[in-house]
Amino acid sequence: MRKNLLVLAALLIATGAAAQTADGFRNPPAEYRPVPLWFWNNTRIERPAAVKQFRTFTQRDGYGGCAVLPFGGNFAPEYLSDEYFALYGEIVREARNAGLTMSLYDEYGFPSGSMGAINGDGTPRFMQRHPEATIKRLDKHEYPLTAGASCDIELPHEGRLMSLVAMDSLTLEIRPLSGRIANGRIRWTPPAGSWKLLCFTCVKDGDPNVDYLDPDAVRLFVEDTHQRYYDRFPEAFGTVITETFCDEPTLYRAQGRVWTERFNERFEAAYGFSPEALYPALWYDIGPETAAARNHLFGLRAQLYAEGFMKTIHEWATAHGIRSTGHQDQEEVLNPVSVSGDLMLCGKYMDVPGIDKIGGDRPAELFYKVVSSSAANWDKQLVMSETFGAMGNIPVRELYTTAMEQYTKGINQLIPHAVWYNDRDVTFLPELSYRNPLYNEALPDFNRFLARLNYLLQPAGRTVADIAVLYPIQTLQAGHYLDGPEGYYAGGVKIPDTDYIRVAVMLNDTLSRDFTYLHPEVLERCPVRKGMLHLDNKVNSQHYRILILPGVKCISPECLRTAERFRRAGGRVIFTTALPECSTQFGVPSAEVSARVQEMLTARKNPALFLPSPDTKTLSKALDAGFTPDVMVDGAPGLRYIHRVCGERHIYYFANTGTETAEATIRLRDRVKLRSFDPHTGQSAPFEAETAPAGTRLNLTLPTVRSLFLVSE
């Protein structure tokens, strides 16, 4: 029965675009209302007070449910105890009776993976229950050698040996030596050169979180958390409890050297050879094959992370009738290799890829498109943002501008951070409930505003974007190494000429041109037809006329071939800042890569373009020569938009997040008769526009902190 209800709900969402009405927009159903994190913080939670608070913030503030987040040193009842589940069950019943929903937050505090510390004991639950399944670390041990002099070295006893090699620092020759180990010692006589012995071991780090790279370990975490909720409330899954939420898992733990004992085994299964001779590339330049080696090693680690943690939870969620969502820690790091591995790939195995927008010097807004593009790449319809945490008591205006920017960049499920049970002991302001005098009058309108955005932007459909931008993860992996100078929390290594975010800002925020990042594994399989590059998803299909390769120095042969096929078919290919000079594939010399790129740049017909120092002027000229964009905004730089097609209906959402009124002439490539839907008021009306064979022309005036939907009739 539960799964039948989920199938019906999925069908309703998928066909909802055609069924959306003016009345539904004015007063959206409860399922479109935002569902906040509800911190049960720093105090004993009492049933009458909890029930009263839940009723009040859902009825008065207009929230659509909650995600209970146990938090703080003085929290009671004990997490995952019978008393805790009894209290949680009261909220499940309240939500069911009110027709609201809940998200299963999977941790005590954050990050996901430790199950919090047992009351009165400093040892986190997961470490206490499964010490062998916690995070592992890769260590490097170096021993200088003397040419011609025999060595006899006792190897480290702790952990699992992953690689033992000798490396000549002059010639960069590497010789695997693990076959020479006897009784825990290595005896070897190096030839002429400047040799050192490198021993790599995988050891328990002492970090209390689950080994994110090991699906068997993650299944233990799931059994001890998610499954406990299901065992208590099976009838609520798929009806009241509709998703599970993971919070801030990351690879920067274990000094940025998170590893797993099964790495070599998984590597050989994927590539057909041992990685032993490649391990030095994790720290050192090993010559012409460095880029390929690092892409194989860091690329597999990112895959193991995405599959070990995100995919394992996703599979459990699917089997139990709910969605999986959540977000990484430190998404706003330009080089993600040491923090999330591959930020786009993390979203591949989540039903709802996500990001968080919090305070401090953490510009998540620059990375919204990475996460929403991840959803587009792998055909996910929802994109989540946990928003407003640790931003202080920000003005109401900022609530709106933050939301408008997110929704024009592809996010369509904003999770407010947060409502606090104990509002006298709030760790991360703001406290977003009726008890905060700054918001108590504004929240009902704001939450209706969010519900209206969700109502039109959540139903299944496709996003229209003419421009594809290659996500340069292969270049970032090629330039990354462990123990980098920036520190593992900040990304470790700054990769020169990394401009993919700068290009995105010029496109989105200055030129008002939408785009989609394409992950290399997705670009490799994009077909070229009729002069366009196609993302052939079942639902969110996209068709590109322009491909930008931003700061791409390392590229797979398959990606380069796709770009060349696209150029030959008449598509526009633009390189920015740097040109490809090496390959992710072993045995492909740099000269061959450079020669292929030069052929593209010097072709007699439709040559590729290179912008060594791109700015808005040169980029705009490269984009628009002989090309009619989907949406062209004249007169209001920075006016943001998103264009969705749901069923037969075109949905354009325009937002002015600036400080002055925006007055713009807008040209749409499609010929459409439009109706306006105002998410601030709920009103709808016919909208005057001129249609012609070349498309639709309209004038739009938006005051500051205002937005508007224009929907085809």
pLDDT of residue 16: 44
Angle, helices 215-224 vs 312-319, to 10°: value is 50
| CATH architecture for the domain at 631-712 | Sandwich (2.60)
Token pair of 598 as six digits = 């030069």
pLDDT of residue 121: 64
Token pair of 421 as six digits = 């049970």
Contact present, 526 and 535 (Cβ < 8 Å): yes
Sign for the pseudo-dihedral over CA of 2, 5, 9, 10:
positive
Residue type, 479: G
pLDDT of residue 18: 47
Residue type, 495: I
Token pair of 211 as six digits = 């080994």
Cis status, amide bond into 430, omega within 30 of 0: yes
Cis status, amide bond into 156, omega within 30 of 0: no
| CATH architecture for the domain at 463-624 | 3-Layer(aba) Sandwich (3.40)
pLDDT of residue 638: 74
pLDDT of residue 118: 67
pTM: 0.95
Nearest to 206 by CA among 160, 247, 258, 156: 258
Beta bridge partners of 185: 154, 182
Contact present, 384 and 375 (Cβ < 8 Å): no
Residue type, 298: F
Q: How many CA atoms lie within 13 A of 477 on its CB side?
A: 29
List Cβ neighbours of 234 (8 Å cut-off, separation of 6 or more).
Answer: none
Contact present, 657 and 398 (Cβ < 8 Å): no
pLDDT of residue 17: 45
How many CB atoms sit inside 10 A of residue 698's CB?
Answer: 18
* CATH superfamily, domain at 2-124+213-252+288-459: Aldolase class I (3.20.20.70)
Domain parsing of the chain, residue ranges: 2-124+213-252+288-459, 136-204+253-282, 463-624, 631-712
List Cβ neighbours of 325 (8 Å cut-off, separation of 6 or more).
Answer: 103, 243, 244, 245, 246, 350, 351, 352, 353, 354, 382, 384, 413
* Blockwise average pLDDT, block size 10, the chain, 713 residues: 41 49 96 98 95 98 98 92 98 98 97 82 90 98 95 95 97 96 95 97 97 98 98 98 98 97 97 98 98 98 98 98 97 96 98 95 94 98 97 97 98 98 96 96 98 97 97 98 95 96 96 96 97 97 98 98 98 98 96 97 97 96 87 88 96 95 95 97 96 93 97 93
Phi-psi sector, 139: left (phi>0), alpha (psi -120 to 50), beta: beta
pLDDT of residue 47: 96
